[in-house]
Structure 1
Amino acid sequence: MNVSLFRSWNPSDGMMKYIPNGHVLKPAEYFITSNDEILVCNFFKQSVVRNVTHTESFFEYSKAQTIVSIVGSLLSLIAVILTFLTYALFASLRNRASRLIMNLIGAIFLGQFLLLFGGNENENACTTIAVLAHYAWLAAFAWMNALAFDLNRTFGNTDNLQKVNEGMSMFLYMIYAWGSPFLIVIPCLVLHFCQCTQVNFKYGSVSACWISDGTANLLTFGVPAAIFLLFNAILFGHTVAGIRSTKRATARLHQDTSTLKRTTKELLIYIKIASLMGFTWIFGYVAAFTGIEALWYIFIILNSLQGVFIFISFICNRRVGLLWSEKLKLSGPKAAQKSSTSGKTYRHRAAYAPGTRMTGYCSSMQSDLQQDGSDQPLKEEMKV
């Protein structure tokens, strides 16, 4: 085999790595000839002519796709930082909903940062980055699932209302979302280090600090992520049905508002909710199994910008703008006070209105839920 297909992996031990599939060779497993060829012990798949390498991939980008992914991820990281900073600075914005979002974007930030800036020059460092990235993305999907459940509990059920201990709910969410990825990552670490089975699993390769084998990647990341997405889709459908039921019940109160305006506002609500549930990954699955180039670009653009979509959906509104204006001294204190007390007034009315159930999603989406020209509080618009 040509020496260009190999690179030194650990010079002190004389170990070499076969670039196409990341297989690491010990000194006893290869011999360098005088004509720039390497003789290797036959661990590759046999063909009748010569030894060839059989590799599989699940998500694999071209050079152009990688550039698009890098640009989108950089924008997403900036948006995630701004979103987290906004929730951290303004106490009036913090509630169970915003804390769930903060945890989600924290996992997204860690996953995107590691895949974007994690190098693969050192084997141990690459393995560490791959493990952390695997954990971070599984945690991100778990937080999407927690948000889907919480949204469904808030908007999807119009019966059997019960008071919920928010502190206990948040504690359980954190155990579930930060803890469940360990159920997958720990067995993967055992497979990586023990090399005691026939399973071809390894963290880190020459091409990326991620799961090296395509089939292993599909089974230990693709399948769990698909299960999360399936449950998110079911919960999303139930949530949409609940919101539509509520909107129909309140449409009689606002007959002066056109059907188009009501439909537009309702659509904005669904888009905001969908931005939290990871549905952009569906394009990645379809692209991986069909090989359609256009779908890859749609997936890369939408998925790499996930932090941007969350920022636009939950931070880009008038209330947050007024809070930042006051923080940066761009407007008088009365404007920010009006914004802050306005949010508190809505929450107060909702909390004490009979037969209502409100959380922080309402303050994030209150401009969408209220009809134009109506002075009715959220309790009327989202009465459940």
Structure 2
Amino acid sequence: MDTLYTSRLHGFPNLSKAGLEPALNEESLLSLLVVLGSSISLVALVFAFITYSLFSDLRNLSGTTLMNLLAALFMSQLLYVVGVGGVPDSELCIALAFALQYARLCIFCWMLLMTHNMHHQFKTGLHLVPITDNHIGRHFLRYSLFGWGMPLILFGASLLIQYHDKAGKLLNTATIKGQNCWFLDRNAFIYGLLAPSAILIVATFYYLVCSAVLARYIISIQADIRTREKMRRKRTLQILLFSKITIALSVVLALGAFSKLSNRSEPFWIMYNVAQGMQGFLVALLVTCNCQVLKLYTRSIKSRASRHVPCYVGTGQTSSSMNKSTSLQLLTWDPAPDSV
């Protein structure tokens, strides 16, 4: 029997008696919504990644950590949309289930690292004590080991739990195909994903609260009013940004947990799929459409416009860049034109 992915989404006809009836229309519509939402999210995540790669002001330790979060989220979105409705090959479905668990753990690890880095910046006074490149590189190496290595350890633990529960058989492919090749069995899901993710989320909120307290104290001791207001806007924007991202990712995980533990309850399953498909778009929107990034875009556009449009003074003289040239240089053609 054809899967939902082949018979509904990709247009392959189902010639069975059940396929002739207008059944599973809700599942077909849900799969289509997941594909469309995930496609939009993937494009938005690529745009956000390119944005943080272009501007040198964003390529600091905080921006690089955020780029790793976007990469892990992109991997999660891509793997999930591949398994929509299940895939015919059982081994591929099992591989997708394990890869999704690893990607989801990476997302929450990098989210924790982002808030830890923000708390470290507030604690040491980033604008008062500049950080050298070696310092940034050393911190990023530690972050990379934790952000990509810790999920690997948790992933190995979930494998052992799954192997123990199934007595040598890793997964029941008939079960995970009905879950878009996602979610391991109950114990592996709870102890391999849900419990570690909950701990990471609690630690993330802990650093958010500590950062807010530190920011309030640092702002209060500033003597200059302009500096105080500028610092308040910047710190509030950063704390609110990370809080929104953490809440959005936590809601998606909670919906998936309710759906899994309630044996794929229809309301939770629909809400989870819609949230899973749109989470990448929401995160990309939060990290790119804020005043700090928009200021960089505006500054870049103004600088490019000033390069190509010469400005003239009232006396008829050209700009300073043209004044540096002599009259003889203005009359010559350099390089010389080709002879005809």
Counterpart for residue 181 of structure 2: 209
Identify the match of residue 40 of structure 2 among 48, 59, 75.
Answer: 75
Counterpart for residue 288 of structure 1: 258
Contact conserved, 1:157 with 1:242, CA < 8 A, in 2? Answer: no
Higher mean alpha-carbon deviation, 303-312 vs 286-295, is at 286-295
Deviations 1:254-297 (A, max 9, x none): 4997xxx9988765443212244355424652782898998887
Counterpart for residue 133 of structure 1: 100
Contact conserved, 2:93 with 2:177, CA < 8 A, in 1? Answer: no
Counterpart for residue 307 of structure 1: 280
TM-score (norm 1): 0.57
**For residues 91 and 245 of structure 1, what CA distance do their matches in structure 2 show?**
29
Higher mean alpha-carbon deviation, 96-105 vs 298-307, is at 298-307
**For residues 57 and 243 of structure 2, what CA distance do their matches in structure 1 show?**
24
Shift of the 66–96 alpha-carbon distance from structure 1 to 2, 3 Å rule, reads: same
Deviations 1:84-135 (A, max 9, x none): 1123334443121111111111010001100012352101111222222211
Higher mean alpha-carbon deviation, 139-148 vs 179-188, is at 179-188
Secondary structure of residue in 2 paired with 1:277? helix
Shift of the 245–219 alpha-carbon distance from structure 1 to 2, 3 Å rule, reads: same
Identify the match of residue 211 of structure 2 among 239, 254, 260.
Answer: 239
1:79 deviates by: 1.3
**For residues 293 and 197 of structure 1, what CA distance do their matches in structure 2 show?**
27
Contact conserved, 1:203 with 1:209, CA < 8 A, in 2? Answer: no
1:250 deviates by: 3.9
Secondary structure of residue in 1 paired with 2:103? helix
Counterpart for residue 272 of structure 1: 241
**For residues 213 and 72 of structure 1, what CA distance do their matches in structure 2 show?**
26
Secondary structure of residue in 2 paired with 1:181? helix
Counterpart for residue 118 of structure 2: 151
Counterpart for residue 185 of structure 1: 155
**For residues 116 and 235 of structure 2, what CA distance do their matches in structure 1 show?**
20
Secondary structure of residue in 1 paired with 2:221? helix
**For residues 251 and 70 of structure 1, what CA distance do their matches in structure 2 show?**
53
Contact conserved, 2:102 with 2:155, CA < 8 A, in 1? Answer: yes
Contact conserved, 1:275 with 1:309, CA < 8 A, in 2? Answer: no
Q: Which amino acid aligns with 1:169?
A: H
Shift of the 210–323 alpha-carbon distance from structure 1 to 2, 3 Å rule, reads: farther
**Which ranges of structure 2 fall in alignment gaps of 5 or more residues?**
4-25, 310-340
Higher helix proportion, which one?
2
Shift of the 202–323 alpha-carbon distance from structure 1 to 2, 3 Å rule, reads: farther
Higher mean alpha-carbon deviation, 288-297 vs 216-225, is at 288-297
Higher mean alpha-carbon deviation, 305-314 vs 121-130, is at 305-314
Contact conserved, 2:52 with 2:58, CA < 8 A, in 1? Answer: yes
Shift of the 315–294 alpha-carbon distance from structure 1 to 2, 3 Å rule, reads: same
Secondary structure of residue in 2 paired with 1:202? coil
**For residues 102 and 228 of structure 2, what CA distance do their matches in structure 1 show?**
51
What percentage of residue pairs aligned between the two structures are identical?
Answer: 20
Which residues in structure 2 correspond to 1:1-384 (within 5 Å)? 68-118=33-83, 119-156=86-123, 165-190=135-160, 198=167, 202=171, 204=173, 205-207=176-178, 208-250=180-222, 253-254=225-226, 268-277=237-246, 279-282=248-251, 284-285=253-254, 288=258, 304-316=277-289, 317-322=293-298, 325=301, 331-333=305-307
Shift of the 62–227 alpha-carbon distance from structure 1 to 2, 3 Å rule, reads: farther
Point out which structure has higher relative CO (alpha carbons under 8 A, 6+ apart).
2
**For residues 271 and 138 of structure 2, what CA distance do their matches in structure 1 show?**
39
Secondary structure of residue in 2 paired with 1:211? coil
> What is the aligned residue count?
272
Higher strand proportion, which one?
1
**For residues 68 and 254 of structure 1, what CA distance do their matches in structure 2 show?**
48
TM-score (norm 2): 0.64
**Which ranges of structure 1 fall in alignment gaps of 5 or more residues?**
1-6, 10-60, 336-384
Contact conserved, 2:38 with 2:77, CA < 8 A, in 1? Answer: yes
Contact conserved, 1:202 with 1:211, CA < 8 A, in 2? Answer: no
Q: Which amino acid aligns with 1:270?
A: I
Contact conserved, 2:41 with 2:281, CA < 8 A, in 1? Answer: yes
